Amino acid sequence: MAPPVSPHLAPPAALPGHVAIVMDGNGRWAQKRWLPRVAGHKQGVEALRQVVKACIERGVPVLSVFAFSSENWNRPVEEVSSLMDLLVMALSREVPSLEKNGVRLYFPGDRSGLSARVVKGLEAAERDTAHNRTLVLNVCFNYGGRWDIAQAARRLAQQGAEITEESLSGAMALAHVGDPDLLIRTGGELRISNFLLWQSAYTELVFTDCLWPDFDAAELDRALAEFANRERRFGQTAEQRAEAEPLVVTAGQRHA
Ligand code: IPE
Ligand code: IPE
Ligand code: MG
């Protein structure tokens, strides 16, 4: 009998249903120009705008970006507070056009560590874009893969629910989408830095030296081309994969 196939595994496909990005390199981008680090973060918002547009044009249905990690609290207080200000400012500036372009926003992460002003901004943006269906944009903020696994397990334990791979997946902060097919990290580091630990079990990884503020549609296309040339085997042999019917189409998005 064939082993059970996880519904979270996407079929081999030319276009990823879910792209995740560790947007790294903002500080170095600014330092190279003798600018303060925050100038790099500002330029990073511009890069994100380009990439959202490119994802919509290419038909990628889900984009998840790492904007602030659980560990980024360890940065100098001035940098942390300018990142909080930038988030609130970017929301008020960008949400109307995201709204118009059919982007549905989610902010997976630990809200308990955020100020009331920031939480209010995140909740309003989620509410205002809740009816959109073109692109799901997960802006992971105060997010950590370990936090996510722990909060999911804690929630299930409180409910007295059985802990299984499926129940844990369903309690994660990204339960509304399928697992990422492609994870890109900009900025040259070869690590995950506590991003989607549980969800990236079979994700294809692409690392680029490009600093995040320089990342654009052409860079995205390079990563998509690399993804299209990968052979995803999900533990099977290459021969089995060649014969396989497409498994279960998750297309990144779990709930329409
Ligand atoms: C990523 O860029 C943005 C955040 C982590 C908030 P960095 O600020 O880490 O930039 P580098 O890695 O120092 O260049
Ligand atoms: C990862 O980048 C977090 C985000 C992009 C938000 P970091 O710059 O914080 O990662 P490390 O510290 O180099 O691993
Ligand atoms: Mg960094």
Average pLDDT, the chain: 92
Where residue 213 falls (left for φ over 0; alpha for ψ -120 to 50; beta otherwise) is: alpha
Look up the pTM and report it.
0.92
Q: What is the pLDDT of residue 244?
A: 79
Atom of ligand 1 lying closest to residue 72 CA: 5
Atom of ligand 1 lying closest to residue 67 CA: 6
The residue extents of the domains of the chain are 12-255
Per-residue pLDDT tens for 120-156? 999 999 999 999 999 999 999 999 999 999 999 999 9
193 Cβ inside 6 Å of ligand 1: no
148 Cβ inside 6 Å of ligand 1: no
The ligand minimizing its distance to the Cα of 30 is: 1
The more confidently predicted of residues 204 and 247 is 204
The ligand minimizing its distance to the Cα of 213 is: 1
SS (H, E, C) 139-180: EEEEECHHHHHHHHHHHHHHHCCCCCHHHHHHHCCCCCECCC
* Ligand 1 centroid – CA 62 distance (Å): 23
* Ligand 2 centroid – CA 154 distance (Å): 26
* Ligand 3 centroid – CA 28 distance (Å): 8
* pLDDT cut 90: percent of the chain above it: 88
Collect residues with CB below 5 Å from ion ligand 3. 24
CA–CA gap between residue 62 and residue 180 (Å, rounded)? 8
- Catalytic residue list: 24, 72
Per-residue pLDDT tens for 56-73? 999 999 999 999 999 999
pLDDT at 248 over 70: no
The pLDDT-based confidence of 13 (bands split at 50, 70, 90) is low
CATH classification of 12-255 is 3.40.47.40, yes or no?
no
Give the strands of the sheet with 62-69, arranged side by side. Answer: 103-106, 135-143, 62-69, 18-22, 182-185, 204-207
Atom of ligand 1 lying closest to residue 23 CA: 1
The ligand minimizing its distance to the Cα of 26 is: 1
